[in-house]
Structure 1
Amino acid sequence: MSFKVLVVDDSSFFRRRVTDILNKDVNLEVIGVAINGIDAVEKAIALKPDVITMDIEMPLLNGIEAVKQIMAKAPTAILMFSSLTHDGAKATLEALDAGALDFLPKKFNEIAKTTEDAGSVLRQRVKQLARKKMVTAARVSSFRSRADVEDKAKVSHATTPNAATTTTTPQNQTFRKSSGKKYKLLAIGTSTGGPVALQKLLTQLPEDFPLPIIMVQHMPAAFTLAFANRLNGICKIQVSQANSGDILKPGHAYLAPGGKQMIIDGTESAAKLRILEDNSERMAFKPSVDISFASAAKVFGGNVLGVILTGMGADGREGSRLLKNKGATIWAQDEESCVVYGMPQAVKVAGISELSLTLESFPAAILKEIQHG
């Protein structure tokens, strides 16, 4: 079975290029192209693609407005193409806020060193988003089927004297009582789907949140400052892009800058950040969750609550393992609420995470676990 893709761009050259790249995979089929946002909305409704690749700057209706209309009229997994500029970053974040699931640089040499590698990345991302849509649709269908059965059972119980009443709770939606541990740091790692996930989590934390927060989001260098500023404008806590020498303060979240590595130095009572240039070929992720979490393990030991959110791959597994070996607590986002269940699955399968939670459950669970409020 192949996944159906709609390619949206006002450039005929770029439409052909993306179409040729995607059609190289037998599991992908470009079923249509659109030349502007209005065309995209109409074809999303008519063709019902599994995934849409979407440009931002287009005539008649731009990509952001097109995303909003598509998500309202024909919800579809959308991958944005973006320029790696400050304005491009802001527009992409707006598109993600509107419902797009992921983004890639529009210039292929900014995705990978070779055209073939860039093509492989694009095909992989599209298939990941298509699978997410299929899994979600299957679960919605399954949920509706269960709901129908439960509704019939309720009717049957209601007409039967002394019928026993049973209440079921989804496994990953509940949180046990606080472990009673004392924490000094909240550490979060994420990738694909992370910008929206972080926004949903951080906006629910109170202004007097008692811990410093470090965040590692796989994101280009041009995006992290715009993303940190966006979060700072909508959150009660303070959010900033991390700088070398920043002292970790309670109620302040520090976002690792794109293209670099964020390290924690010092002692638990006087911890500060160091930002390192990383031009090595060895590290696939810059910033890397593994590197930041490993440094947190050295400085804070077991007094860390580590959270792995939605993302592709396994970055964060080894850093989480080091934290876990020191006695830290590791939680992971559950599969159903992830855009891509890669990073959370890696820590769960390895037996590192203690709990899987829906994205919506994290804020309350974190506050309860650290015994705040």
Structure 2
Amino acid sequence: MLIVDDSAVARALIARQIEPHVRFAVVGAVSHVDAALAFLATDRADIILLDVAMPGMDGITALPSLLAAGQGARIIIVSSSTPTGGAAAVQALAHGAADTLVKPRPQGLSEFSDALLHKLDALALRGERVMAAPSAPPPMIGKARPEIIAIGASTGGIHALAKLLAPLPSAMTVPIVVTQHLPASFMPFFAAQLTAMARRPCDVAEDRMRLRPGRIVIAPGDAHITFAELGDGGAAIRLRYDRASSGCLPSVDPMFASIAQIWGDRAWGIVLTGMGRDGMEGARAMKAAGATMIAQDRESSVVWGMPGAVVSHDLADLVLPPDTIGAMIASGAVA
């Protein structure tokens, strides 16, 4: 991996946490973005640990260039500028970072080392690095347009959501509900980011909130989204706090299962990049009810755990990169 940080002390400190673990190797350590780009022009790194505040180009601005130069490398932001729940952390994830981590302090070095290795292991589960293929023309699904679209995501999901939502026309009235694995403190910033990405209002779900056309609703970080039918034909959100079988809170499974009960074959479910198997049991319920299930492809996923589980259990009608999913929705398959 490549460490990019203007502090020599930080570079050495981070490298020392990695070096004892033979499954990872530091192949380079540089002090600014231009040096990182020069390194990547001749050498490869599977993972880049990137600071934000540096001389010249800052880390968040540099993300697109580093992702292109890295040819499939995954980037973890390691910076005191991206505390958990901060707007900068959400912005980094939206621009393509796979994850974020706060820089270590002397009294918290052990916790930093454990957290860093956990995140590195999660990215290593992706297996052999592959390049994303150019997007093909969007396929079409023969079923009638859905009355609701539900999306589940985890590691790498914010960037994937940005690619999926960008092509959607602002006039689209189908409501979109999202369960993204994030802490509760992230959610206000995440909602604001999705509002800008999708050019439509995005709300953090509240209990008994009515589902409204043309809006996005995201699960809060401490509850599952489920739904209750209303007498006038609409639906309201009901939040649940019980433990899901996946162990996740919020979990994609309760959202999908509830949608299957109410909308059946009038719903689409989409599972984007993420570690683990959350969403697989819910996808099974949606398929049994006749819903359409779409999974993100391996090549474009940061971690092909959640979508891979859906695909391996033969629950996906289509397996596509996020931009193609969005183009399919925008092209007329969904009005």
> What TM-score, normalized by structure 2, do the two folds share?
0.82
- Specify which of 116, 119, 140 is matched with residue 122 of structure 1: 119
Contact 1:308 1:333 in 2 (8 A): yes
Deviations 1:343-365 (A, max 9, x none): 21111110111122232221243
Aligned equivalent of 2:238, options 258, 262, 274: 274
Which of the two has higher C-alpha Rg? 1
| 1:348 lines up with 2:311 in the alignment | yes
Give the alignment partner of residue 178 of structure 1, picking from 139, 142, 145. 142
- Distance in 2 (CA, whole Å) between partners of 1:66 and 1:183 is 38
Aligned partner (choices 70, 78, 81) of residue 78 of structure 2? 81
Residue 225 of structure 1 aligns to a residue in which SS?
helix
CA offset at residue 78 of structure 1? Answer: 1.6
Shift of 1:43: 3.9
Change (3 A) 1:66 1:227: same
Determine if the alignment matches structure 1 residue 261 to structure 2 residue 261.
Answer: no
**Residue in structure 2 matched with residue 198 of structure 1 by the alignment:** 161
Report the Cα distance in structure 1 between the residues aligned to 2:230 and 2:146, rounded to whole angstroms: 14
C-alpha distance in structure 1 between counterparts of 2:223 and 2:6, whole Å: 34
Unaligned runs of 5+ in 2: none
1:259–1:17 distance in 2 versus 1, CA, 3 Å = farther
Q: Which deviations, in whole Å up to 9, do the C-alpha atoms of 1:285-313 show, x marking residues without a partner?
A: 22211122122223333321111122222
Comparing both chains, which one has the higher relative contact order based on Cα–Cα distances under 8 Å and sequence gaps of 6 or more?
A: 2
1:135 pairs with 118, 130, 134, which one?
Answer: 130
Q: Report the AA paired with residue 320 of structure 2.
A: L
Confirm or deny that 1:104 pairs with 2:100: yes
Among residues 234, 238, 252, which one is paired with 1:289 in the alignment? Answer: 252
Q: Can you list the C-alpha shifts for 1:43-66, whole angstroms capped at 9, x where unaligned? A: 444543222111223345421234
* Structure 2 counterparts to residues 34-45 of structure 1, below 5 A: 34-45=30-41
Select 1:304's aligned residue among 267, 277, 287: 267
Q: Of 187, 208, 226, which residue of structure 1 is paired with 2:150?
A: 187
Any conservation in 2 of the 1:52–1:77 contact (CA below 8 Å)? yes
User: Where does the alignment leave 5 or more consecutive residues of structure 1 unmatched?
Assistant: 144-169
More helix by share: 1
Contact 2:141–2:333 under 8 Å retained in 1: no
Amino acid at match of 2:299: E
SS in structure 2 of the partner of residue 214 of structure 1? strand
Q: TM-score scaled by structure 1?
A: 0.75
Aligned residue identity for 1:125? A
% identical equivalent positions: 32
* Aligned residue identity for 2:262: V
Change (3 A) 1:179 1:95: same
Displacement after TM superposition at 1:127 (Å): 2.1
Q: What is the CA–CA distance in structure 2 between the aligned matches of 1:81 and 1:298, rounded to whole Å?
A: 42
Instruction: Tell me the number of residue pairs that the alignment of Structure 1 and Structure 2 aligns.
Output: 327
Letter in 2 for 1:288: S
Structure-2 separation of matches of 1:316 and 1:351: 13
Deviation at 1:274, TM superposition (A): 2.9
Specify the code of the residue in structure 2 equivalent to 1:103.
Answer: D
Q: Deviations over 1:185-206 (max 9, x none)?
A: 1111112221122122222222
Separation of aligned partners in 2, 1:125 and 1:371: 34
| SS of aligned partner of 2:121 | helix
Q: Where does residue 23 of structure 1 map in the other structure?
A: 19
- Contact in 1 for aligned 2:3/2:11 (Cα 8 Å): yes
Task: Give the conservation status (yes or no) of the 8 Å contact 1:7–1:54.
Answer: yes
Alpha-carbon distance in structure 1 between the residues aligned to 2:56 and 2:327: 43
AA partner of residue 199 (structure 1)? A
Which amino acid counterpart does residue 121 of structure 1 have in structure 2? H
Asked whether the equivalents of residues 167 and 330 of structure 2 are also in contact (C-alpha less than 8 Å), the reply is: no
**2:195 maps to 1:232:** yes
Which letter does structure 2 place at the counterpart of 1:51? I
Change in CA separation of 1:55 and 1:173 when aligned onto 2, cut-off 3 Å: same
1:186–1:305 CA contact under 8 A, matched in 2: yes
Match of 1:216 in 2: 179
Find the counterpart in structure 2 of residue 167 from structure 1.
none
Secondary structure class of the residue paired with 1:28: coil
Q: How much has 1:173 moved relative to structure 2? A: 5.4
